[in-house]
Amino acid sequence: METNFISVDDFCGHYKVEVNFIKSLEEYGLIKTKAIKKSIFINTDDLTGLERYIRLYKELEINLEGLHAVAHLLNQLEFLQQKVKDLDNEISYYKQLH
């Protein structure tokens, strides 16, 4: 077994969520799972996002369609923040030239 994966059963037991919730997130394209020897696993790199979805789902009672919309908006926000950072760096470069 690869070391950068965690069992969906272990994850669900720890976070007290149903396995069907994880399957639904995968159906919506929010996470990816991997089948290894008849068990389903989650990449540990995806845990931060998955924990975010669980908090939004449980604490704010956002449904799966809402989680999909929130994920899309967060991705756009991260993209735009990176774009602003790149533009700030470019402006700083040109300011140094003058």
- pLDDT score of 60: 94
Domains of the chain: 5-97 (1.10.1660.10)
Q: How many CA atoms lie within 13 A of 58 on its CB side?
A: 11
Answer whether 2's CB lies under 8 Å from 39's CB. Answer: no
- pLDDT score of 95: 92
Answer whether 40's CB lies under 8 Å from 26's CB. Answer: no
User: What pTM was estimated for this model as a whole?
Assistant: 0.77
Return averaged pLDDT per consecutive 10 residues of the chain, 98 residues in all.
Answer: 80 93 93 90 92 94 95 96 97 90
- pLDDT score of 97: 87
Whole-angstrom CA distances from 54 to 35, 48, 83, 86 are 22, 10, 28, 32
How far from the centroid of its chain's Cα atoms is residue 71's Cα?
Answer: 8
